[in-house]
Structure 1
Amino acid sequence: MDTASSSGAVALANPWAVVPPLGNLDAYITAVNRLPMLTQEEEQRFARELRDDDNLEAAGKLVLSHLRLVVSTSRQYLGYGLPHADLIQEGNVGLMKAVKRFNPDQGVRLVSYALHWIKAEIHEYILKNWRLVKVATTKAQRKLFFNLRSMKQGFKAEDAEADITHRDVLTDAQIDVVATQLNVKPEEVREMETRLSGGDVLLDPTPADSDGEQAFGPIAYLSDAHHEPTAMIESAQRDALATEGIATALKSLDERSRRIVTERWLNVNDDGSGGMTLHELAAEYGVSAERIRQIEVAAMKKMKAALAEYA
């Protein structure tokens, strides 16, 4: 088996040989999580090679570097009782469709573009293989149904932690919480709660009750936004910039500029107080306040360039 190149890209005649088959799910996930991520420059280069030269090896490298995104996204839909391996496989189909359609000149990373296609394939698979109760016929009702179903599980977990016997029927206080969070009336929550206690009937629209909403998929409201891969990546990037990135940028400054920026912007309280003023720094260095301001502006520009390079 070939190994990753020094640039971090995977160089394989057969890119798929680097991961085991989905039959061994644990081994597959472990192998996928060890695959190197592509830099933005590598991603752009491979995408152009695929688009301009129909280079399938470049397509394989793009797919391989984003398999972990499929694994992460598929975990959001394990509550349907469908095999995890099947969810991953359908997500991989969506990833390959995204790679095929990806335009490197649009100014977005493949991770953001591919997420839509991955979810679309998983959604389609679930809708074809799972039946829900038909308790919601409109788009708003479906949104309420799926969110209510999820929130009831949360209430059940809270009751268990507090050693409270959970009841299937929501309390008035819980209904008010649901209504507030979902921006609906308490009466609508109670009505949906009543429907939930009914029986299982078909949820998917049929030609007989066609109302123009057959294409709407309530599954769009099921994923947990807090664990959405793109949001998690962006959060990690922000945390890195706020710690290592700032420290790296400060190191690019001379001692005086670094102290001015630190005293002016970093040594402050949450209410904005605590930092030194331009006049205080000017008196300390024996220069004018305008000169301190000029040094500060130049230092901030240099730090911005350093942060852009770090990112």
Structure 2
Amino acid sequence: MASYTESPELLRSFTAQANRYPMLRPEQEDRLARDWTERQDRRAFDQLVHSHMRLAVKVAAKYARSGLPVADLVSEANIGLIKAVQRFDPTRGFRLATYALWWIRAEVQSFVLHNWSLLKGGNTATLKRLFFNLRQTQRKLGIHDRIMSDEEAAQVAEKLSASIEEVREMEHRFATPVSSLNVQVGEEGDHEAIDLLADDQDSVEERLAEQGELNARRALMTDALTQLGDRERHIFAARNLADQPVTLETLARQYGVSKERIRQIESGAYKKVVRRVRAQVDTVAPMPPPMALGRRTAAMAMA
């Protein structure tokens, strides 16, 4: 496994390789995408993939702090890119980069989570949320990569709905990689290793893609919930979408039935929602199961 201190050099190498391929103008991209979707033109497919490899490297770079091999992260990002190109439909009116971003990010995140044991544990939902969002939240709060004060840790904990102890635990896990980014590099030692990492700031296109993804998920959840009856909808939401899930016992008392009956209703409702979501997205793009749509998105859908 490559050490984290090697990451900047590897990222620079991957970025240089990706930059060898020119970016496509909208009309070029549209022509190549149609050549692929209509005639399965392999050369068109390869051009589409190559021209977007820099996006895959940029997404992979954001997960370099995970401690996983950079080469593996880039490889997973490229797999996501290939899946996106295979399924891209140019007639829908949006650019390939916008469509591919979700696929790339999903592939890399899945790889990181499946290898979570490399982070010495951390299999709770809260720690996973901290792992993916801690540094971004720190930047938004104006907190730099250093040991946080108690007040700063409390701010981060509030923003991410976590305890201060959980924030401190994730901060500790990041401590060694973060310090390694500050080593001097270059012939004259006039740069730090962190200077060679890709910019973490999202581009306008990425922000638009994220907003589009949120809107799409909201629409999917809204539609899926219409397939449930009033009681099913309430039980499903109380058990799966609330910030603090309601217990089976509480719902059983409310409806005057057994806990097992509530569990059966919840299970049936969940299956209905899954079927509806899958039916809506199978021909467009992969979507996570309903609970993975996020409680914030689900709450907005039910408002």
Q: TM-score, normalised by structure 2?
A: 0.47
Q: Which fold has the larger relative contact order, with Cα–Cα distance below 8 Å and residues 6 or more apart in sequence?
A: 2
Larger Cα Rg: Structure 1 or Structure 2? 1
